[in-house]
Each structure stands twice: as structure tokens, then as C-alpha cells.
Amino acid sequence: MASVEPRRPPASSRQEPEGRSGRQDKYSVLLPTYNERENLPLIVWLLVKSFSESGINYEIIIIDDGSPDGTKDVAEQLEKIYGPDKILLKPREKKLGLGTAYIHGMEHATGNYIVIMDADLSHHPKFIPEFIRKQKEGNFDIVSGTRYKGNGGVYGWDLKRKLISRGANFITQVLLRPGVSDLTGSFRLYRKEVLQKLIEKCISKGYVFQMEMIVRARQMDYTIGEVPISFVDRVYGESKLGGNEIVSFLKGLLTLLLLHKRKLFIYAYRVHFNLNIKEAWLLIFIKRTLKA
């Protein structure tokens, strides 16, 4: 399994491993849904099976954004079947974006780790125990599933989807050098407090949101591990990737590139003039003011 280790943040911002803290870790799975009536019972069953067989303490939080196909009704039935301590339905009236769905879910999460994944069966829960093992091995802040390293792969996509995903990853790797192999994937494990801080910083929506999360994580010196996964295209329903998402990706990439260049600019000032971050910002502000 491949891993990426940026500079580690101060020890005070990192949690102790479970054995040292004396409490059992709990994993909250956030499942944003929209028109996933057929897929939701299957993914929940697979999650429950994987967690139960591995002896992992868990909860599954379903955030349905007003699905017109009755996804909310199915979620209510699942809550009755598995119990409200394991399945929590926290619906919203309409689609409000992936980032806000995560924020909404975290408000109700009691776990100290958060798993994000798709509800359309593209991400198999069998990989979650591997994510957890990887996190504990390296005490990582984030563990990300990768389709593009080791024995990871993509199944069921046409050539267009493969080119879009590969192209997006390649362009971002060249321009931003984030140090991870799969930037557009959405199957990840986060420390809860890390995910909260990243979402507070992120401004992107749609397809580019997951990319910004990793770019921001690198800038904030969070550590990242990678686990190869198999990604399988949805069986039921339609893909939500369209022309608008591609345009959004290009716009978001430009924003991330400008952000990355600004960070490098500030770093260069700090090194050259031996300044702290506030002093560097002040010097840049003064120079721009004088030019104006």
C-alpha cells in the first residue's frame, strides 16, 4: 500500500492512538444521497456486515437532499431495521452541496473518525477496515482510497469517464503537485477535527471539492496515507457527472492554482527576509499599497 507523508503538524493537534487514549475509536460514515432508493439498502447492508465482522464501533448517517424517488422513505425503514443508534437519518429539503452535507452530517456524528463515501455502490465497504489499519500504522490524519496505485482500478466506466478522471488527476498533479495519486476520489477516512477544519477552508463545489480538500490538507501539513481500492460504476441510477461539472472543475482548478501560487509567494518572502507569516503578509501588503 502506498502512502504519502507531508510534514506532520504539531503534536498538540494530533490525537493519540486508541491504545494510549484508553477509549475505543468510533467511526461515523457520512452518506449524502440523492435518488439512491435502489442502492441505499445494499450499501447499508454491506457497511453493517463489514463493521460487524471487523468488530468496529460505527454509525451511519444518511443525509438525503430531498430525493424525489423516495430515498428518504427507504432510509426511514433502514433506521427501524438496524436501530437509531446505528442508522441516523438527517435529511435536508433540497440539494445544497456536498460540503454542506458533510457539515450537516458531522453536527450529528458522535465518532472521532469520519468516513466519506458514495452511496451508489461505487465504493465497497470492505476497504474501510484497510483504511483503519493504514491510519493506525502511520497515525495519519487522512487515509484516501486510490484507483491509480498498486492493485487499485476502475471498472464499468466508458472511455470518456476514464479520460476525464485521468486528465483531471494528471493536470492537477502537474500544476499543484499535491503528492497523492488520486485527487478526485471521494472514498476517505478523516480524523473528525481535521475534516472540520478542511471544510471551513474549502470554497469549491461539485467535482473539484474533493481535490481542494487534499490540496488544503497538504498546505495545512496534515499527513495522508493511501490505500488502493477498486471503483465500480453505479449499477442503479444515473451518474451525476455532466458538462457543468467539467466546467466547474476547470474553474476550481484555476482557483486552486492561484491559491497555490500565493502560498509559494508568501513562503519565498518568509525565507528570503527571514520573516514569520504575519510579517510576510504585512510586507506584501505594503509593497502592493505603494505600487497602487
Beta-carbon contacts of 134 under 8 Å, excluding residues fewer than 6 positions away, are 1, 3, 140, 143, 225, 226, 227
- Least confident interval from 26-35, 45-54, 205-214, 276-285: 276-285
Per-residue pLDDT tens for 116-147?
999 999 999 999 999 999 999 999 999 999 99
The pLDDT of residue 267? 45
pTM for the model stands at 0.76
User: Which of 105, 133, 131, 107 shows the shortest CA–CA distance to 119?
Assistant: 105
- Least confident interval from 22-26, 40-44, 112-116: 22-26
Largest separation between any pair of C-alpha atoms in the chain: 67
Q: In degrees to the nearest 10, what's the CA dihedral of 94, 97, 98, 104?
A: -60
The pLDDT of residue 67? 95
- Band of the pLDDT at 12, cuts 50, 70, 90? very low
Per-residue pLDDT tens for 205-215?
766 788 889 98
The pLDDT of residue 31? 97
β-pairing verdict for 142-146 and 57-64:
unpaired
Q: By percentage, how much of the chain surpasses pLDDT 70?
A: 70
The pLDDT of residue 268? 45
Collapsing DSSP to helix, strand or coil, 231 comes out as: strand
Q: How far apart are CA 122 and CA 144, in angstroms?
A: 15
83, three cell numbers: 436501530
Q: Tell whether the model's pLDDT for residue 10 goes beyond 60.
A: no
Q: How far apart are CA 16 and CA 52, in angstroms?
A: 24
Mean pLDDT across the stretch 106-117?
96
φ, ψ for residue 155, nearest 5 deg: -130, 135
Q: By percentage, how much of the chain surpasses pLDDT 90?
A: 48
- Band of the pLDDT at 279, cuts 50, 70, 90? low
**What are the CA-CA distances from residue 58 to residues 79, 120, 151, 208 (Å)?**
14, 20, 27, 28
β-pairing verdict for 153-155 and 87-89:
unpaired
Q: Tell whether the model's pLDDT for residue 232 goes beyond 70.
A: yes
Q: How far apart are CA 29 and CA 50, in angstroms?
A: 12
The pLDDT of residue 162? 74
Q: Tell whether the model's pLDDT for residue 114 goes beyond 80.
A: yes
**What are the CA-CA distances from residue 199 to residues 45, 99, 126, 190, 222 (Å)?**
29, 7, 26, 12, 14
Q: Tell whether the model's pLDDT for residue 44 goes beyond 70.
A: yes
- Band of the pLDDT at 237, cuts 50, 70, 90? low
User: Which of 97, 57, 81, 187 shows the shortest CA–CA distance to 89?
Assistant: 81
In this predicted model, which residue has the larger pLDDT, 58 or 212? 58
User: Which of 117, 283, 140 shows the shortest CA–CA distance to 210?
Assistant: 117
Q: Tell whether the model's pLDDT for residue 21 goes beyond 90.
A: no
Please give the mean pLDDT across all residues of the chain.
80
Q: Tell whether the model's pLDDT for residue 250 goes beyond 70.
A: no
CB of 250 closer than 8 Å to CB of 172: no
Per-residue pLDDT tens for 163-200?
777 777 777 677 766 788 888 889 999 999 999 999 98
- Least confident interval from 40-54, 148-162, 257-271: 257-271
175, three cell numbers: 500544476
The pLDDT of residue 209? 82
